[in-house]
Structure 1
Amino acid sequence: MARVDKNSPFYGTSGRVGDLIFRTGLYGTTVHLAPEKKKNKSKYRANRNSRMPQAIEYARKRIRDPEMYELYQSGVNDAKNSAYMVAITDYLHAPKISRIDSSKYTGSVKQPINIYATDDFKVNKVMVVIRNPIGELVESGEATMKSKRYGRWTYLTTVVNTTTVGGTLLVTVEDHAENITSQTVVLGDNTAEQECGGQD
């Protein structure tokens, strides 16, 4: 539970908006997370509840920035009916990595590594780090969005790598609220394409 500031557009609101429930009473307006349907998500819900005051503070600051307000306003829908609400939920949800495809990477330059990543709002940045089998840095850089519909980001390699098998590929995905999700895969013939378990 967190108290809603009197200057917030949601002060005085009662009812459910997206996955948030607002209650207004004698002592003001509070906001709570809607109950989870599955009991095994209780720890996850508790973690999100603990972050609610920070999420509200983040949203208040962001919507005062005209550029960020316009960005979050673009995410308004039936479930999230204001830029303020979009910003809150963005803060509470980390991006997800669903798949990393390095099947075309053999160590040459200009070879694509495809990352499939999504966010409850928008993925802001995808970074790639390649290391050789002994942990030395081969190269690193930022991937480029290639398909908004499928959440596909592509990184084109820039350095010749003569020892790919046994090396590692680290992918880091960041959203606009600076939530970060990372996944490391081992490069090799049997691990060229890996399904990844995302997090919320």
Structure 2
Amino acid sequence: MAKADNNVLLSKLSGSIGKQVTIKQRGGKTIVSKAQQPREKAATGKQLEAQDKFTEATAYAKGVLADPEMAAVYRSMAQPGQNAYNIAIRDAYNPPVIENMEKAGNNIIVRATDDFRVYRVTVGIYSAEGVMLEEGNALMGRNGKDWMYTAITEALPGCRVMAVAEDLPGNRTNREIVIA
């Protein structure tokens, strides 16, 4: 792959030359690469899984672009050479991360981050036998990373606390702690 800047012959040019060379314009730069050839082998299971994930990510990104408000929010996060579509694809690929979870009195504090935005954090408290005692949404703290859930029932030793963080594309991550 070659990149060309300030080239009179290639500026504003895109497409394929025969079945050998492809010319693309990306972020104000001209990229010259070998033309993609058709596949000779059938895709493996992992490749099919990656194709499905990409199809879901592109569907999400197209939905973002169809909503002017969401497109503006994603566009605001774009770096030079990126656009709202790129950021939405990246967001769809990357699930949120629960970095930490702790109990402080009746409060459960969950630190959840995402490459774009955590949409919701849900906390459930289960007895030692696995019976759900309560469940609800946590409230986002001022720092945008810490989410706090105030429990109604007291979580006794042996109880499990499960947190689920969800981002805008619907990716979910969960984490569990056992009260000591």
TM-score (norm 1): 0.63
The structure showing larger relative contact order (alpha-carbon pairs under 8 Å, at least 6 residues apart) is: 1
In the TM superposition, 1:1-200 aligns within 5 A as: 14=24, 51-78=53-80, 81-102=82-103, 104-105=104-105, 111-148=106-143, 151-157=145-151, 159-161=152-154, 164-188=156-180
Unaligned 5+ runs, structure 1: 1-10, 28-43, 106-110, 189-200
Query: Aligned pair in 2 of structure 1 residues 144, 132: CA closer, same or farther (>3 Å)?
Result: same
| Identity across matched positions, percent | 28
Paired residue secondary structure (2:157): coil
**Greater CA deviation, 176-185 or 55-64?**
55-64
Confirm or deny: 8 A CA contact 1:129 1:139 kept in the other structure. Answer: yes
Distance in 2 between the 1:139 and 1:64 partners? Answer: 38
- Once superposed, what is the RMSD of the aligned Cα atoms? 3.2
Post-superposition shift, 1:23? 8.1
1:122-175 residue CA offsets vs partner (Å, 9 max, x unmatched): 1110000001111222111111111436x1111112x233x6110100000000
1:39-68 residue CA offsets vs partner (Å, 9 max, x unmatched): xxxxx9996565223212221122101232
Distance in 2 between the 1:90 and 1:122 partners? Answer: 8
Query: Aligned pair in 2 of structure 1 residues 128, 64: CA closer, same or farther (>3 Å)?
Result: same
Unaligned 5+ runs, structure 2: 1-13, 16-22, 37-45
**Equivalences, count:** 149
Paired residue secondary structure (1:120): coil
Confirm or deny: 8 A CA contact 1:147 1:153 kept in the other structure. Answer: no
TM-score (norm 2): 0.69
Confirm or deny: 8 A CA contact 2:134 2:153 kept in the other structure. Answer: no
Larger Rg: 2
Distance in 1 between the 2:139 and 2:178 partners? Answer: 22
Distance in 1 between the 2:143 and 2:127 partners? Answer: 31
